[in-house]
Amino acid sequence: MSTKKSKKQNQKRKTAKNSTTSSEQAVSTQTSPKKQSAKGAEFNLREPWIKRKSGYITVGLISLALAVLVAYQIIKGSGDWGQGILWGLIFGVSILLIFFGMNWFHSLFNKDKGEKQKTESKK
């Protein structure tokens, strides 16, 4: 009786191994096209999503709106107009400084890529 059970268990193990290897092969064939498309998608992510002018306008409007909101909240809370305007300006300018600072920082590392793109577009 124990030999019948062991034979059945061995057959189950063999079929389980065969099914896992076939599923692994199917997964390996599926991952190679995904890797290729991921490389293509990564390349597309390096391109700008919006125009530079639109980005500047958007960041400027957002920083202005948040500056006004901060100033309003401080004026509403304390009643001091000078302090509200000061903190609103500080907050709005800090957003712009971070935005332009990050643009500058990334331009340090992307100089070669920008030059290559310019020369390729001329050809």
pLDDT for 49: 86
Torsion of the alpha carbons at 8, 13, 16 and 21, rounded to the nearest 10: -140
What whole-number distance in Å separates Cα of residue 68 and Cα of residue 82? 13
Q: Are residues 25 and 65 in the same domain?
A: no
Q: Are residues 31 and 83 in the same domain?
A: no
* Domain of 59, in residue numbers: 50-123
Pick from 28, 33, 100, 34: nearest CA to 63:
100
Question: What tens digit of pLDDT does each residue of 35-78 get?
Answer: 666 665 566 677 788 898 999 999 999 999 999 999 999 999 99
Based on the structure, what is the number of domains in the chain?
2
Residue 105 in 3-state DSSP? helix
Q: Tell me: pLDDT of 23 over 60.
A: no
Q: Are residues 26 and 60 in the same domain?
A: no
What whole-number distance in Å separates Cα of residue 90 and Cα of residue 66? 11
Q: Are residues 122 and 90 in the same domain?
A: yes
Neighbours of 88 (CB within 10 A): 21
Check: pTM over 0.75? Answer yes or no: no
The tokens describing 40, both together, are 């293509």
Q: Are residues 68 and 112 in the same domain?
A: yes
List the alpha helices (DSSP H) in 46-80: 52-78
Question: What tens digit of pLDDT does each residue of 85-111 get?
Answer: 999 999 999 999 999 999 899 889 877
